[in-house]
Structures are given as C-alpha cells and as structure tokens.
C-alpha cells in the first residue's frame, strides 16, 4: 500500500489504496478480455495505436494544441481565489466553482460592435517595445 503525505480533502484520504486497484486491474488483463469479440477489438485497437504510419501523422489529429482557454480560465480562478491568501479546501472549492460559473457565463459573449455592426477596437501601446496593437476593448 502506498502512503501519500499531505492534506486529506473531503473526498480523499491521507492513505491510498493503489495496490488493491492495480492488483484487480492486472487480474483482469491476465485472465484475458473475456469474449472473443472483446479480444478482437483489443487487438484492433493495439494495431491502430502501434501503427507507425498513424504515429507519424498523429499530430494532424490532435485538435487542442493551444492552452489559451485553460490559461484564461486559470486567470478567472485567480480573480476569485488569489494565491496571496490561504483558503481552507471547502472555501477554495466554492471560490473555484464561482469562477467556473462566471467564466461560463461570459465565455461566449459577443464582441462589442458599433450601431452599424462593425467590431470596436482600440489602440494599445506596449511600453517595452513601443509597438501599437489593436485589441477589442473589455466591457
């Protein structure tokens, strides 16, 4: 049995039972996959995953290469649960849930437009390199 030291949250315990799960999982794989149909599907999956042609082109099939959405959500969490303050686990969880609700509410909001329907942009000047950039204003 593995022992993990750290905080014990509401749904987690300070000790872990990985050994029981690993033993049960290993027993399932050692027995075989049961029916011949599941063995055939497992073999087909293994053939696909280890196909060198597929492995060479796998980057074309991966959709989420950017972490911008995750970073945006993390910034939202930081508005509600700053790193400067210590929160108990229930309070931190409540603050993260509030951040998730607020993020989902504002996520697909349309951009600001003029009365003619054109998007509104404003100029910002970066002080470090003195470049001008057009950005959408925050509402």
Token pair belonging to 94: 């409540």
The rounded radius of gyration (Å) of the Cα atoms in the chain is 25
Among 2-6, 18-22, 55-59, 69-73, name the most confident range.
69-73
- 133 sits in which H/E element: strand 131-135
Q: Count Cβ neighbours within 10 Å for each residue of 22-35 and write b for 16 or more, e otherwise.
A: eeeeeeeeeeeeee
- CA pair distance 132, 36, nearest whole angstrom: 65
SS3 label, residue 7: coil
Q: Which residues are CB-contacts of 16 (< 8 A; sequence separation ≥ 6)?
A: 1, 2, 3, 4
Q: pLDDT tier at 9 (50, 70, 90 boundaries)?
A: very low
* Residue 6: pLDDT over 80: no
Residue 18 φ/ψ, nearest 5 degrees: -60, -35
Q: pLDDT tier at 134 (50, 70, 90 boundaries)?
A: low
Tens of pLDDT, residues 62-79: 665 667 778 888 998 999
- CA pair distance 135, 139, nearest whole angstrom: 12
* Residue 10: pLDDT over 50: no
What pTM was estimated for this model as a whole? Answer: 0.40
Give me the residue spans of the domains in the chain: 68-135
Per-residue pLDDT, 89: 93
- Mean pLDDT is lowest, of 11-15, 60-64, 69-73, 82-86, for 11-15
Q: What secondary structure letter does DSSP report for 119?
A: B
Q: How many CB atoms lie within 10 A of CB 99?
A: 19
């Amino acid at each position: 049995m593995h022992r993990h030291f750290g905080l014990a949250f509401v749904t987690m315990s300070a000790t872990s039972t990985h050994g029981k799960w690993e033993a049960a999982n290993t027993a399932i794989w050692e027995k075989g996959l049961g029916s011949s149909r599941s063995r055939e599907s497992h073999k087909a999956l293994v053939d696909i995953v280890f196909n060198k042609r597929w492995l060479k082109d796998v980057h074309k099939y991966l959709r989420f290469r950017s972490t911008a959405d995750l970073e945006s959500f993390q910034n939202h969490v930081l508005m509600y649960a700053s790193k400067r303050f210590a929160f108990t686990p229930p309070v931190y969880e409540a603050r993260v849930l509030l951040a998730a609700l607020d993020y989902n509410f504002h996520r697909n909001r349309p951009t600001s437009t003029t009365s003619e329907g054109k998007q509104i942009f404003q100029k910002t000047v970066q002080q470090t390199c003195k470049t001008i950039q057009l950005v959408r204003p925050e509402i």
